[in-house]
Amino acid sequence: MDLTLKVWRQGSEKAKGSFQTIKATGIKPEMSFLEMLDVVNEQLNGNSKEPVAFDSDCREGICGTCSMVINGRPHGPDAGTTACQLHMRRFKDGDTITIEPWRAAAFPVLKDLVVDRQALDDIIAAGGYISQNCGSAPDANAIPVPKEKADKAFEAATCIGCGACVAACPNSAAMLFTAAKLTHLHELPQGQAEKQERTLKMVDAMDAAGFGNCTNLYECEAACPKNIDREVIAKMNRAYTKASLFKRK
């Protein structure tokens, strides 16, 4: 396949960016989207041109680093799929593909398609952990956990922190990400002791990072590559209300 790519090029965080048209030739349908970009970069290098900067790591859909908007959709046209799992058979010979980075004030562009997602790490650092000293690791079945709660915790824990929810939201909200990280811990007995403090700290960190507010459009749920349910946002809102009332007493 031969494709026309319209790629966002930006030399640095402070540089002014713009779209650049790049021809991609000899692309095979079985290639992943990132493999296609590898081929394009090889062609650019061969012509003594600057390759396109983009993030990637595991390329197995679990690290969340392949952050890019493809034809206006985070991670591309396929639901429940990261950019590294998107294959070129999804496109046709002669197609024009627009590729740009996440668009959010909290995610400054570092170069081309690479953004700084430190803001998500700051939310986790604020309280996304259990600090209670529980001694050595207990047996797996020592603390009874109802299967329904274990399933909910596991579903929330599948969040890979890619930021697609932020990129898809018109308000650049990080509610789905933050709520998933809270739900992961709050559904389990081990997370109850610090539930209120954790909720306040992580939500406050989210607000301080400059993310927008949720207006219940649920674009985040549609863009999430792990199909995390929006119900976690409702759980977080309830937990935050309770924690705020408790703090005032």
Question: Which residue's structure tokens are 């109850």?
Answer: 192
Of the residues 111, 134, 150, which one is the last residue of a structural domain? 111
Phi, psi of 7 (to 5 degrees): -110, 135
Strand arrangement of the beta sheet that strand 3-9 belongs to: 18-24, 3-9, 96-100, 69-70, 73-74
Of the residues 68, 88, 111, which one is the last residue of a structural domain? 111
Please tell me whether residues 131 and 166 are part of one structural domain.
yes
Is residue 10 within 8 Å of 17, Cβ to Cβ? yes
Is residue 180 within 8 Å of 156, Cβ to Cβ? yes
Please tell me whether residues 19 and 102 are part of one structural domain.
yes
Of the residues 80, 111, 142, which one is the last residue of a structural domain? 111
Please tell me whether residues 124 and 209 are part of one structural domain.
yes
Please tell me whether residues 71 and 11 are part of one structural domain.
yes
Number of domains in the chain: 2
How large is the angle between the packed helices 195-208 and 118-127, nearest 10 degrees?
Answer: 160
10 sits in the region (left: phi over 0; alpha: psi -120 to 50; else beta) called beta
pLDDT at 160: 97
CATH number of the domain enclosing 106: 3.10.20.30
Please tell me whether residues 18 and 34 are part of one structural domain.
yes
Please tell me whether residues 103 and 169 are part of one structural domain.
no
pTM here is: 0.93
Phi, psi of 149 (to 5 degrees): -70, -40
179 sits in the region (left: phi over 0; alpha: psi -120 to 50; else beta) called alpha
pLDDT at 142: 78
User: From first to last of its 249 residues, what are the pLDDT tens digits of the chain?
Assistant: 999 999 999 999 999 999 999 999 999 999 999 999 999 999 999 999 999 999 999 999 999 999 999 999 999 999 999 999 999 999 999 999 999 999 999 999 999 999 999 999 999 999 999 887 766 777 767 788 899 999 999 999 999 999 999 999 999 999 999 999 999 999 999 899 999 999 999 999 999 999 999 999 999 999 999 999 999 999 999 999 999 998 755
**Token pair listed for 127:** 């309280």
DSSP 23-63: EE-S--TTSBHHHHHHHHHHHHHHTT-PPPP---SS-SSSS
Range of the domain at 49: 3-111
Torsion of CA 129, 190, 150, 206, to 10 degrees: -30
CATH number of the domain enclosing 179: 1.10.1060.10
Please tell me whether residues 165 and 89 are part of one structural domain.
no
Please tell me whether residues 41 and 149 are part of one structural domain.
no
Please tell me whether residues 13 and 102 are part of one structural domain.
yes
pLDDT at 126: 97
CA quadruple 220, 32, 181, 114: dihedral sign? negative
111/101 Cα distance (integer angstroms): 9
pLDDT at 131: 86
Please tell me whether residues 54 and 100 are part of one structural domain.
yes
pLDDT at 223: 97
Please tell me whether residues 126 and 79 are part of one structural domain.
no
Please tell me whether residues 165 and 208 are part of one structural domain.
yes
